[in-house]
Amino acid sequence: MGTAVAQALAKSGRDTAVWNRTISRAEPLAKAGVSVHADVGSALDASDAIVLTILDLDSALKTLDGHFAALEGKAVINLMSGTPALARETAQRVEEVGARYLDGTIQCYPSDIGAAEALINLSGDRAVWDAYKDAIMAVAGRSTYVGEDPGAASILDAALAGTVYTAGPGAFCEALAFLRDSNIDPTRPEVALDYWFDLFRAQAMQLVDYVAQEGVPCRSPTVAKHHAGRWSARQHYGCGAAEPGDRRCSRVRKFQLRRASADDVVPAEVTDTNDRARKLSRFNPLD
């Protein structure tokens, strides 16, 4: 990721200096006009804005340890993942030495860096965003400032990339595996995957407006219907693939379903939950 960011900055015509723990990995960047430094201190001295693209925020703090004084008067822009609390702690440490801090989370792959549709969410010092917005947009064209709280970008990352984007494709893979194990080819046009994608998008946007309303009880009818659907899916996964005793619905899949609904209360509408589905909710993956 760091290589892609450096290349994008250099390509946009900005003077770019880099440091890497393994200098041989950074040396090829010299061909793109990037100044490669052998130690952290010289790289910091060569820059007015410090962009952190190390493994994670913990690693970045360890790298900066002993060099915080060199940050005085500079802007520090972190682009690596971390917790909201750690982002706020980093902002405080940076500001204590007279520097300014902007925390970011990259919402795309290295191959997308430099593209107009690439996204980075950033939060923290608004003055840093205003001063370096053009440079950041050269790295990711859809980059967005999401608020003054340094932890806001990490919260978005956890909620959307960490939960929706990670769990969503995982659930979709389970659905595809269920179709395959039931001898239904998911690539058949009759499966109408495009219909379900469009429906999910439409309902997801409705849920955004719904959940945003203050005072909405979590057990209201709309939410209860989703709970009912989850219990129905559990029944189908437990019983739908084949005859009783069929092991094609794997233990891992059963365990995932159990974990997903571990805290659910069965909705009042669901009155026909059979014994097998109830046993599934108590499934022990180790037995």
* Model pLDDT for residues 136-191, shown as the tens digit of each residue: 999 999 999 999 999 999 999 999 988 888 888 888 999 999 999 999 999 999 99
Contacts of 68 (CB under 8 A, 6+ apart): 93, 94, 96, 97
Buried residues in 114-152 as b, exposed as e (16+ CB within 10 A)? beeebbbbbbbbeebbebbeebbbbbbeebbbbeebbbb
More confident site: 134 or 224: 134
* Model pLDDT for residues 6-30, shown as the tens digit of each residue: 999 999 999 999 999 899 999 999 9
Q: How far is CA 40 from CA 46, 202, 248, 268, in A?
A: 10, 48, 54, 61
List the domain boundaries for the chain: 2-149, 155-281
Q: Burial of 65 by CB count in 10 Å (0-12 exposed, 13-18 middle, 19+ buried)?
A: exposed
Residue 102 forms beta bridges with which residues? 77, 124
Q: How many CA atoms lie within 13 A of 90 on its CB side?
A: 35
Most confident of 176-180, 214-218, 267-271: 176-180
Which CATH number applies to 2-149?
3.40.50.720
Q: How far is CA 63 from CA 41, 98, 208, 219, in A?
A: 10, 18, 39, 47
CB 77 within 8 Å of CB 102: yes
* Model pLDDT for residues 42-63, shown as the tens digit of each residue: 999 999 999 999 888 888 888 9
pLDDT for position 231: 53
Strands 35-37 and 144-147: unpaired
pLDDT for position 273: 37
pLDDT for position 224: 56
Alpha carbon dihedral 281, 284, 285, 286, in 10-degree steps, equals: 180
* DSSP single-letter state for residue 121: E
Question: Of 61, 65, 58, 102, nearest to 82 (Cα)?
Answer: 58
Confidence band, pLDDT 50/70/90 cuts, at residue 233 = low
pTM for this prediction:
0.72
Confidence band, pLDDT 50/70/90 cuts, at residue 286 = very low
Phi/psi for 103 (5° steps) reads -105, 135
C-alpha–C-alpha distance, residues 87 and 96, integer Å: 14
Per the prediction, the chain carries an average pLDDT of 81
